[in-house]
Amino acid sequence: MSADSTIKTVLLLGTFDTKGDEYRFARERFENAGLQTILIDTGVIGQSSLDSDFTSEDVARAGGSTLEKLREENDRGNAVSVMTLGARAIVTELFSKGKFDGIFALGGSGGSTIASHSMRSLPLGIPKVLVSTLVSSSAASFVGESDIALFASVVDIAGVNSISSKIIANAADAMIGMLSGRPIDVVSSKKLIAASMFGVTTQCVTDARRELESHGYEVITFHMTGSGGKSMESLIFQGFFDAVLDVTTTELCDEIIGGTLSAGPDRLTAAVKQGVPQVISLGALDMVNFGAKSTVPEKFLKRNLYLHNENVTLMRTTPEECEKIALDICAKLSKATAPAALMLPLRGVSAISTQGQPFYDPAADDALFSTLRKHVPKQVELIELDCAINDLEFTSALVSKLISYLEKK
């Protein structure tokens, strides 16, 4: 590990007992480009064919075990868990000391799992490149809410051959390019606002963004596809934002009812925990998301389904489901200490739930609204407007309320 701090450093993390040739190839490409490298070995099965700055024994100890014990137990699942914890501990410590500028890894399921956990522990903007055999099937589980750049290995990562060498070289060159570019200062002099959007609330959020920008604020929009909600919650929790315009809370439907775009049970909690002012609405709480119609669970096939496109099928929420969603919202907002408002668009919570549209369902909407009226926490302002969520009148009310909170802050 070189001490020259003027040269950029790439951290290579992986199972060098089974992927030594591939990592040697990548290391040589980095070093030929003038970069330094740090090597962390997470292999357990055999002997490493590379000299490492941190050996498998170092990683196992950092994970609360020993390499000898892991080999004796011969439990692959536990070994991956231990090495994941150990690698993450070493990576975060090295980063806190400014020892590397980017992280690179390649592997199958085990190696990708270990590496991706370490990558996700690093801040937004730090170059992260992962070459994996499982990109097409497990991308979401690897990336989470981070900014990992994934490369599909195409062939198995089992030696450097005429195909794998091209893939690994491209991935390494991507890292080289990231580290060679001019750094971008992401610090803004403007107050930052996080906003949640979906296709059926696009008009509302677009109008809100323009209006807020005209008042000198910067709006960062997140697409509510599960990973989008996780990313927004994570960045709110990290303190990136001065306020939140949570127009589109649709991911709650998927979490509670069982759709494909859940952001997990912590959705709608970061602003509460961090004391960030927020204005919340009910965008797309009329729908649960599935893939192609053939993927919709059998128990839902007789429900009101809407084919958004050949890969997305939407299911209308029922009155009973809307009541559960409303109770979840109220429970999460009950701990709010910063200014918060919940705004109800009484004529439709999405572009397809207004009168005449396929998800128009007054009974379901009434269950949602009446439950919120009854249970909304006293510290949260409840504001009702006789318009649809994408109406300009509703957007203006959202923006006006959020600005009032920001000016007070």
> Where are the CATH 3.40.50.12020 domain residues in the chain?
9-180
The pLDDT value recorded for residue 22 is: 94
Q: What is the mean pLDDT of residues 153-181?
A: 91
> Quick count: other Cβ atoms within 10 Å of Cβ 179?
19
The pLDDT value recorded for residue 409 is: 64
Q: What is the mean pLDDT of residues 56-80?
A: 94
Of residues 140 and 41, more confidently modeled: 41
Q: How confident is the model at residue 136 (pLDDT cuts 50, 70, 90)?
A: low
The pLDDT value recorded for residue 408 is: 86
| 4, pLDDT greater than 60 | no
Q: What is the mean pLDDT of residues 65-89?
A: 94
Structure tokens belonging to residue 236: 């709110």
| 259, pLDDT greater than 60 | yes
The pLDDT value recorded for residue 137 is: 62
pTM over 0.75: yes
Provide the CB-side half-sphere exposure for 71 (13 A, CA): 11
Cα–Cα distance, 130 to 144 (Å, whole number): 13
Q: What is the mean pLDDT of residues 236-252?
A: 95
Of 256, 269, 265, residue with least CA distance to 315: 256
Among left, alpha and beta (phi > 0; psi -120 to 50; other), residue 246 is beta
Q: Which of the residue ranges 159-163, 242-246, 289-293 would you say has the lowest mean pLDDT?
A: 159-163
| 305, pLDDT greater than 50 | yes
Q: What is the mean pLDDT of residues 139-149?
A: 77
Q: What is the mean pLDDT of residues 140-145?
A: 72
Cα–Cα distance, 90 to 80 (Å, whole number): 15
> CA 10 → CA 14, 117, 159, distances in Å?
13, 17, 21
| 1, pLDDT greater than 60 | no
The pLDDT value recorded for residue 356 is: 96
Q: How confident is the model at residue 125 (pLDDT cuts 50, 70, 90)?
A: confident
The pLDDT value recorded for residue 3 is: 45
Superfamily of domain 9-180, CATH level 4: Uncharacterised protein family UPF0261, NN domain (3.40.50.12020)
pLDDT in tens, 169-226: 999 999 999 999 877 665 668 999 999 999 999 999 999 999 999 999 999 999 999 9
Both ends of the chain: CA-CA distance in Å? 47
Q: Which CATH number fits domain 192-408: 3.40.50.1010, 3.40.50.620, 3.40.50.12030, 3.40.50.300?
A: 3.40.50.12030
Q: Which residues have a Cβ under 8 Å from the Cβ of 202 and sit 6 or more positions away?
A: 351, 390
Q: Which of the residue ranges 160-164, 194-198, 352-356 would you say has the lowest mean pLDDT?
A: 160-164
Q: How confident is the model at residue 135 (pLDDT cuts 50, 70, 90)?
A: confident
Of residues 379 and 310, more confidently modeled: 379
Share of the chain above pLDDT 70, in %: 96
Q: What is the mean pLDDT of residues 150-171?
A: 90
In 387-407, which positions are buried (b, 16+ CB within 10 angstroms) versus exposed (e)? bbbbbeebbebbbebbbebbe
Of residues 391 and 228, more confidently modeled: 391
Mean pLDDT of the chain: 93
Q: What is the mean pLDDT of residues 3-20?
A: 87
